[in-house]
Structure 1
Amino acid sequence: MRIAMIGTGYVGLVTGACFSEFGVDVCCVDKDAGKIQRLKAGEIPIFEPGLDQLVEGNVKAGRLSFTTDLREGMAGADAVFIAVGTPSRRGDGHADLSYVYAAAREIADTMDGYTVVVTKSTVPVGTGREVEAIIRERRPDARFDVCSNPEFLREGAAINDFMRPDRVVIGCESERAQEVMRGLYRPLYLIETPIVFTSLETSEMIKYAANTFLATKITFINEIADLCEKVGADVHDVARGIGLDGRIGRKFLHPGPGYGGSCFPKDTLALVKTAQDYGAPLRIIETVVDVNDRRKQAMADRIVAACGGSVAGKTVAVLGLTFKPNTDDMRDSPALDIVPALLAAGATVRAYDPEGMDEAAKLMDGIEYGQSAYEAMDGADAVAIVTEWNEFRALDLARMKKLLKAPVVVDLRNVYDPKDMRAAGFEYTCVGRGTDRPARAASEAAQ
């Protein structure tokens, strides 16, 4: 089989490379000539563990190619995937579908023979029908079907997520198109992956419902963490206690500075806007968006409080800038709120991230950078762990204490044990672990 993949961003490149690993002939198309040249030269524009080897191997095998010419990419293709960006639209929060609709028009002008047009981008309900209408208007004689095939890739684990997914969702109402999609995903039948066929609208809704539910779990445990600090409970024990309930599950119950990344922030906002447009507002998700936005600022305040109430004239070492480990993605990272707030409060920020510093430099001014965690901490008045990269999990505590001007550690990811840190002589602040504080509030209120 042969497919064209429009867009060589995170979703398009990972999906195209993984399909080629399945034995499919994949041509990735992008208007950015510079990006295509770099890909042809073997340069991967994003950091995703294992992606460079996957691309290299399939290019050498002749199953994966890159071009700026859509006609070349679609020649002989059984399906063409739209994997372009759908960022939040400036001003109103709706998903910006201009790139999707532009791709649809170009597909209409280029297709030759029956083609399955697949929306891989995350798009609001109704987008697939609009793509169909655009193509039909430009090419009334065209033979095609439109499918929705949302991605469920976690940055940092995307290749495994594609190769061994929990499920594959396909919104597809034509038997012919279903056969094409079954053929593309046939390797997953061998490992008994559930393949869920639905309508276009249902498939589009599944993607948004999944992401907003996960964002809600994160926000829920973050608010529980705040309460745990007040009452003297440990949020990790709470999360384990409720997560062992099969109806709740253990994942996405780790407290921190709030969710970020390329999906949750824009998808929660887009679903809220869609629900408002249809007169069925989602009050829970509206609250999730608001609480998450406020939490990032609250984390900056927590760092200031740990420094005695002021960071003016002080140096704060920030470990981790990306929204999560194993990626260079800075989109909606908590660091984008925390670092500017520290700078505005008069701090000097010296940061280190294993993969994200180049991207961070494009988005934030006034930051100093270290070439290691220890270099970032040298002479600092405090250190804040913002992203839980593995190399931050076993830092030399004795060396840290010698490097820091003051032994202040603010651990926003709860990487370390509070008792160990305090025994090592650190003034340690974490999230949601109040077990070493007397829970007096309830008893005092009862008196």
Structure 2
Amino acid sequence: MSNSYPNRVTTAVPGPRSQSAHAARQQHVSASVGSYMPIYIERADGSILTDLDGNEFIDFGCGIGVTSLGHANEAAVGAMREQLEAFTHTLFTVTPYELYTEVARLLGEITPGDFAKKSVLSTTGAEAIENAVKIARSFTRRNGIAVVEHGYHGRTNLTLGMNYKAQPYSTGVGPRAGEIYRVPNSYPFRDGEQDGSVIARKAIKTLEKISGADNLACLVIEPIQGEGGIVVPAPGYLETLQAWCAENGIVVIADEIQTGLGRTGKLFASEHFGFVPDLVVTAKAIGAGIPLSAVTGRADVMDAIPAGGLSGTYSGNPVACAAAIEVLSQLTAPGAMDRTTEIGERLRAGLAQLQEKYPVIGDVRGHGALFGIELVDADGEPNVPAFATVSQAALANGLLVMAGGSDGHVLRLLPQVNISDELIDEALSILDTAFSAL
């Protein structure tokens, strides 16, 4: 692997203009709003971010999976512009419009499951998760929510209690919502060679003991965990949980906010496992940067709440819907997922070379344009200082990566699902340089 790549960064990071912007931010923006990297962006195009100082960065974050089809995607921007000139807001629950219905129709076509489906649109992923839980509770007339270790579902009051870790999300802002039951996730790097079905049966036994199946409204689970560190469950885990839920009338909710819409080389990560949830939650990539989210699933379940019980002022905004229709068109075009699969193969091969070279890399895992690099110390334990060193060294050389893992020790890679081979190779070379800094 060559360490030769273009000199995209010409100042210290952060540069003087970013430092000035940060000083203003500290004066006017709540300290509760954190940022991964201290660079302030002026413009973005495709897979490249440009900061106020003219430094360029390959974007392996995509705003945590939002700009999957590239920054300033020409067709999506065109669809938004056209809708902006028509109307920007009426509220679908006051005077509806066809765009909302078309997004719902398209989601029904592409989400897993061969059954009649309906959708409800909202604004953020956390809002959609709360809607999904409300729908499940109304349908089952039960209260309990099952979640798994290392999961992340949002920053609203309900989702704070569903998240695995308290810091920084829920510390000091309780009480957290009740009737949430947490069980083991399948984490092959930590579980060893255990079959996924074995871990699932442990989870089921725990749920039957601490909640009781007849008390559970839903199981909410990410098919591949994002914030938790790109944890890909072992075969048999999701399928065993799904079968148990079906036997006991528990609604299965797949949180595909980060993993859905082509991120893993399939339209939904659930498809890698033959996992067919009752409800699928989407957000992030669906609106090409304009806030939009959805719950899509079994029509009888989706109709459980009376008219007026769901939606909000900005739910299914027409500009966001126009963007979503274009995004879904591009993701379902012939060859789109083939390209993302190729990206995954190229990333996996390059990361495997790095793993052979650097003992600090304990595990490499993922699919398509979603990968995690777990960093460990000599005892195999999470190596948080290594993440700090590598991520900062990568940024200094023109590559932005994300943090992941419940301990913040996993390099989370989320490039665009249509990124070029040249930029992948450049990013891998930068990572090589960054790891050498250790």
TM-score (norm 1): 0.31
Q: Which has the larger radius of gyration?
A: 1
* More helix as a share of residues: 1
Higher relative contact order (CA 8 A, sep 6+): 2
TM-score (norm 2): 0.32
